[in-house]
Amino acid sequence: MATTLTDEQKQQVARWVQEGASLAEVQKRLGAEFQLSLTYMEARFLLDDLNLTVKDPPKAPAASSDLSKTADAVPGIPDPLGGAAKPGDAVAGKVRVVVDKVVRPGSVVSGTVAFSDGQGADWYLDQAGRLGLVPKVKGYQPKPADVQEFQYALQDELARLGY
């Protein structure tokens, strides 16, 4: 993957990491500045190929999280997952990501997602790092912007949980 970047681009990525950018931030900047769209795992492999390691974000105490202070549903977002937001739910814009406490068989990590249009899906990350999405309604396709927002929210939530 590193062969798709010029030496100047590789140096820029290294600067971002040295400045403290998270993996999600590097992924976003690759898209914005280099028009290079990478999945979470591809971005991880890229940084690994470049021998770069992102700094772990400081762990915030659970009590300081807005989500841990309320069990109410996220305002303005339909909840196809059948319950209110709970501590440990990730909310990014209008997409909500929940990580399962009991992992789906054959997965490293799994959970559910509620998209901005009110539709929901199960998601999972398998041992090969592939992200799968199983919509609750057969044939449903989330908007591309929702998929991207879901990936960013998922990355942030998994990083917060130590994955």
Domain that holds residue 80: 62-160
pLDDT digits (tens, 9 = 90+) for 11-53: 998 898 888 888 888 888 888 888 888 887 888 888 888 888 8
Residue 123 lies in a domain: yes
Q: Which positions ≥6 away from 104 have C-beta within 8 Å?
A: 110, 122, 124
User: What confidence score (pLDDT) does residue 83 get?
Assistant: 44
**Are residues 93 and 115 located together in one domain of the fold?**
yes
Residue-wise pLDDT tens digits, 57-113: 554 444 333 333 333 333 333 344 444 444 444 444 588 899 998 888 888 899 999
Query: Residue 54 falls within a domain, yes or no?
Result: no
In terms of domains, do 95 and 69 share one? yes
pLDDT of residue 63: 37
Same-domain pairing of 81 and 102: yes
> How many angstroms separate the CA atoms of 79 and 118, rounded?
6
82 plus 153 within the same structural domain: yes
21, 100: one domain: no
Q: Are residues 66 and 133 in the same domain?
A: yes
pLDDT the model gives residue 1 = 45
8 A C-beta contact, residue 92 and residue 28: no
> What pLDDT is attached to residue 158?
85
Asked if the structure places residue 94 within a domain, the reply is yes
Which one-letter DSSP state was computed for residue 102? S
* Alpha-carbon dihedral 64, 75, 146, 161, rounded to 10 degrees: 20
- The pLDDT score that the predictor gives to residue 111 is 93
Q: Is residue 55 part of a domain?
A: no
Q: DSSP label at 32?
A: H
Residues 81 and 37 in one domain: no
SS3 44: helix
Looking at the structure, do residues 95 and 29 belong to the same domain, yes or no?
A: no
Number of folded domains that form the chain: 2
Residue 5 pairs in a beta bridge with: none
Give the tens place of pLDDT for each residue, 125-143: 888 888 888 999 998 988 8
Q: Residue 67: which of 81, 87, 84, 82 has the closest Cα? A: 87
95 shares a domain with 43 = no
